[in-house]
Amino acid sequence: MAAEAKPGNSKRSGPEIRVQAEDFDPGQELQRLTQDDTGIGAVVSFVGLVRDFADQKSDSSMTLEHYPGMTERQIMAIAEQAWQRWPLNGCLVVHRHGRLLPGDRIVLVIAASPHRKAAFEACEFLIDWLKTKAPFWKLEQSGAMREWVESRGSDDDAAARWNK
Amino acid sequence: MIKLLYFALLRERVGVPEESLSLPPDVKDVGTLLAWLREQSPNHAAALCDPNMVRVAVNQDYAALTDPVRAGDEVALFPPVTGG
């Protein structure tokens, strides 16, 4: 699912996305994405973590359900949009699913570009749209408490401003 | 036949993760499908009663109420997403 090759010294032909249960290593991913391309002058990464919603209770967890197939398709569509909109040399999205604990990494977004403005903007665009389009649902559990997280209007607003 | 998939809170309320159903001839789009599904059981009705809490994807793309539904489609129903 790679985009068309770009002119210049970009070594990568399109964004890369992964949906997985396993953890990821942000430093290793960043190194891998940037190591063969000296045209990159700026790389911006975002890592989302499981926040402890139950105030330090030791048994709290978050389970991420997803829609296999559609999840990959929607994330790739968003990543392709970012690839078209900004001059990116590299773009990576990794999103986990399954049962996670407070402090665990959930999502990684990396955008690499010759200059910082494009890298910052593309990274923010990706996480904003991912939150409103990628079919994931968070279930929070702690003791007897079991609750599906409700979506937030502020996330829709954050994504919508990129349409201006 | 169409294949229906339910996720998260909707899956729990309907009681099954997926089902295959034969559509009556007057069900032609997402809107009429939702109305028809609500009549299938009290669980379906409870799961789908609040339109603001239901998102629909046809063949893995987000769909509006007026988008067509045809035999062979995979139609997923789920609450607003909360990833990231």
Give the pLDDT of residue A162.
86
Searching chain B, which residue's CA lies closest to the CA of residue A62?
B83
CA dihedral A58, A20, A43, A91 (to 10 degrees): -150
Residue A3, domain member (yes or no): no
Domain span at residue B53 reads 2-78
Give the pLDDT of residue A57.
61
Residue with tokens 């770009």: A6
Whether the CB-CB separation of A32 and A110 falls below 8 Å is answered with no
pLDDT band at A154 (very low <50, low <70, confident <90, very high): confident
Domain span at residue A69 reads 16-163
Residue B84, domain member (yes or no): no
Give whole-number Cα distances, A104 to A63, A99, A128, in Å. Answer: 11, 10, 20
Q: B42 and chain A: CB distance < 8 Å anywhere?
A: no
Cβ–Cβ gap B84/A148 under 8 Å:
no
Number of domains observed in the structure of chain A: 1
Q: How far apart are CA A14 and CA A2, in angstroms?
A: 5
Strand partners, A17: A93
Cβ–Cβ gap B8/A137 under 8 Å:
yes
In our burial notation (b when 16+ CB lie closer than 10 A, e otherwise), range A78-104 reads bbbbbbeebebbbbbbbbbbeebebee
Whether the predicted pLDDT of A149 surpasses 50: yes
pLDDT digits (tens, 9 = 90+) for B27-74: 999 999 999 999 999 999 999 999 889 999 999 999 999 999 999 999
pLDDT digits (tens, 9 = 90+) for A89-107: 999 999 999 999 999 999 9
Interface A-B: count of C-beta contacts within 8 A? 70
Cβ–Cβ gap B83/A136 under 8 Å:
yes
Half-sphere exposure of A108 (CA within 13 A, CB side): 23
Question: Which value does ipTM take for this structure?
Answer: 0.95
pLDDT band at A56 (very low <50, low <70, confident <90, very high): low
pLDDT digits (tens, 9 = 90+) for A62-87: 999 999 999 999 999 999 999 999 99
Residue A2, domain member (yes or no): no
Q: How far apart are CA A97 and CA A139, in angstroms?
A: 11
Whether the predicted pLDDT of B11 surpasses 80: yes
Cβ–Cβ gap B81/A137 under 8 Å:
yes
Searching chain A, which residue's CA lies closest to the CA of residue B60?
A70
Residue A67, domain member (yes or no): yes
Number of domains observed in the structure of chain B: 1
Give the 3-state secondary structure of residue A10. Answer: coil
Torsional sign, CA B55, B59, B61, B63? negative
Q: Which of A93, A90, A94, A107 is nearest to A43 (CA)?
A: A90
CATH number of the CATH domain containing A39: 3.90.1170.40
Q: Give the rounded distance of the alpha carbon of A103 from its chain centre.
A: 17
CATH number of the CATH domain containing B54: 3.10.20.30
Whether the predicted pLDDT of A8 surpasses 60: no
Measured between beta carbons, which residues in chain A are less than 8 angstroms from residue B57? 67, 70, 135
Residue A80, domain member (yes or no): yes
Chain B contact probe: residue of A65, A128, A129 with most B CBs at under 10 A: A65
Q: B80 and chain A: CB distance < 8 Å anywhere?
A: yes
